[in-house]
Amino acid sequence: MPGSFGYVETRRVVLFTEDDPLVLSSGATLAPVEVAYETYGTPAPDGSNAVFVCHALTGDAHAAGHHGDPARTGWWDTLIGPGKPIDSERLFVICPNLLGGCRGTTGPSSPDRTTGRPYGLRFPHFSVSDLVAVHRRLLAHLGIRRLYGAVGGSLGGMQVLQWALDRPGEIEHAVLVCASSRLTAQNIALSAVARASILGDEHFCGGDYYDSGRNPDVGLSVARMLAHITYVSERGLELKFGRGRLREAPTFGVDFQVESYLEHQGRSFLERFDANSYLYLSRAMDYFDPFADEEGAVERLRDSGTRFLVVSFDSDWRFPTAHSAEIARVLERAGCTVQLEEVSSPWGHDSFLLEVPRYHELVAGFLGAAVAVR
């Protein structure tokens, strides 16, 4: 029977130094760059069973297993572990925290060696290609040259797509779930409101709030509440809450169950995420447009040999199926083998984090069948 991976530790490694800095796509340099990551399973002697997991906007390196409390498992424990779709008994699974993050990888809250203070908004802007560059350096550190698979949901799927474009042939099997190759004006607008909430918080202090004793908690929690609404669906909220109320007489507080749920989402988010990281990572998503030069993208992907599984959910209105279909269209133009699947789920964009049977069957089949014939 499938089970949790069990106890796992987060490791850290410095991948870029002052003598060998990370050169960003903007031309700016960054050093040192430390990365937090976790691994699950055992690598094959030749590294041929490696699967790289790319996390979404507010994820981190802790994708599976637990850190001491078996009841508190990683964000993708439904998918990664013994006998699960990303089977740690056969695959060596790697998941790092993203560049610009706040859970062990260098980001705006990290100390700037030149000043000794956290970077704040002095941290350089970065692109999805820069995220991939750091991923590839981690692979080199681990002695892996080519990936059997790369899997990502939402921003994670964008990273997998960018990786396939930047280094054709380096990924054998690519799984993109709830992803987009280009954010719509509506998506950018939603993120703009979330960022405005953070930037307008009285305690934001121009991004230098780390030593002030006060964080922009109101702004960040409202940003999370707004974003969370886009991660669920109207039907999902109706199934969970409907018009359930907590009190009879109206106030301007928390009167409805759905309001209490959103308040909890905003409050709990403050315990694990940094406002500046939210600004930087969401902005990198806005600028992601790998098919802007479609002909160039097609030529880069041609003869790469990468097989793609592109999955969407019928209730996802943040990145609806049309986004996945556009990715598949360009990949097919390049002659890639593409499996495009829309899965039925009432839970919206967040379905990629949940145990949706058809979705899990697709991932297991895509990654598992090929392993069996090795």
| 368 has a pLDDT exceeding 90 | no
| 66 has a pLDDT exceeding 70 | yes
Local structure of residue 68 (DSSP, 8 states): S
Per residue in 105-153, pLDDT tens? 999 999 999 999 999 999 999 999 999 999 999 999 999 999 999 999 9
| 371 has a pLDDT exceeding 70 | no
With beta carbons less than 8 A apart as the criterion, state whether 67 and 59 touch: no
Higher pLDDT, residue 316 or 370:
316
Find, among 41, 31, 36, the residue nearest to 55 by Cα.
36
Per residue in 249-302, pLDDT tens? 999 999 999 999 999 999 999 999 999 999 999 999 999 999 999 999 999 999
| 63 has a pLDDT exceeding 90 | yes
pLDDT at residue 369 in the model: 56
Amino acid (one-letter) located at 47: G
- Mean predicted confidence (pLDDT) in 77-96: 97
Collect all residues with Cβ–Cβ distance below 8 Å to 347 and sequence separation of at least 6: 232, 233, 236, 313, 315, 354, 356
pLDDT at residue 322 in the model: 98
CA distance 261 to 108: 29
| 354 has a pLDDT exceeding 80 | yes
Residue with tokens 């060998």: 20
> Residue 138, exposed/middle/buried by CB under 10 A (0-12, 13-18, 19+)?
middle
Q: What is the pTM of this model?
A: 0.96
pLDDT at residue 3 in the model: 79
pLDDT at residue 343 in the model: 98
Domains of the chain (ranges, CATH numbers):
11-182+289-372 (3.40.50.1820), 187-283 (1.10.1740.110)
Q: Has 154 been annotated as catalytic?
A: yes
| 374 has a pLDDT exceeding 90 | no
CA distance 314 to 275: 31
With beta carbons less than 8 A apart as the criterion, state whether 15 and 33 touch: yes
Where residue 38 falls (left for φ over 0; alpha for ψ -120 to 50; beta otherwise) is beta
pLDDT at residue 27 in the model: 97
Q: Has 349 been annotated as catalytic?
A: yes
pLDDT at residue 168 in the model: 97
Q: What share of the chain in percent tops pLDDT 90? A: 96
State yes or no: 224 annotated in a binding site: yes
Q: Which of 55, 135, 349, 360 is catalytic?
A: 349
With beta carbons less than 8 A apart as the criterion, state whether 33 and 14 touch: yes
Compute the mean pLDDT over every residue in the chain, rounded to the nearest whole number.
96
Q: Which of 4, 109, 127, 154 is catalytic?
A: 154
Beta bridge partners of 81: 87
| 56 has a pLDDT exceeding 50 | yes
pLDDT at residue 2 in the model: 78
| 370 has a pLDDT exceeding 80 | no
Quickly list H helices, 92-243: 128-142, 155-166, 185-199, 217-231, 234-240
Residue with tokens 């928390």: 254
Q: Which of 77, 316, 324, 360 is catalytic?
A: 316
| 90 has a pLDDT exceeding 80 | yes
Q: Has 293 been annotated as catalytic?
A: no
pLDDT at residue 347 in the model: 97
CA distance 257 to 241: 6
With beta carbons less than 8 A apart as the criterion, state whether 129 and 166 touch: yes
Residue 116: count of CB within 10 angstroms of its CB:
7
CA dihedral 293, 326, 230, 232 (to 10 degrees): -150
pLDDT at residue 1 in the model: 56
Residue with tokens 């699947």: 341
E strands, the chain, in order:
11-16, 22-23, 29-30, 33-40, 50-54, 80-81, 86-87, 92-96, 147-153, 171-177, 307-313, 337-343
| 373 has a pLDDT exceeding 90 | no
Local structure of residue 77 (DSSP, 8 states): T
Local structure of residue 21 (DSSP, 8 states): -
Q: Find the range with the poorest average confidence among 13-17, 211-215, 275-279, 326-330.
A: 211-215
Beta bridge partners of 173: 149, 307
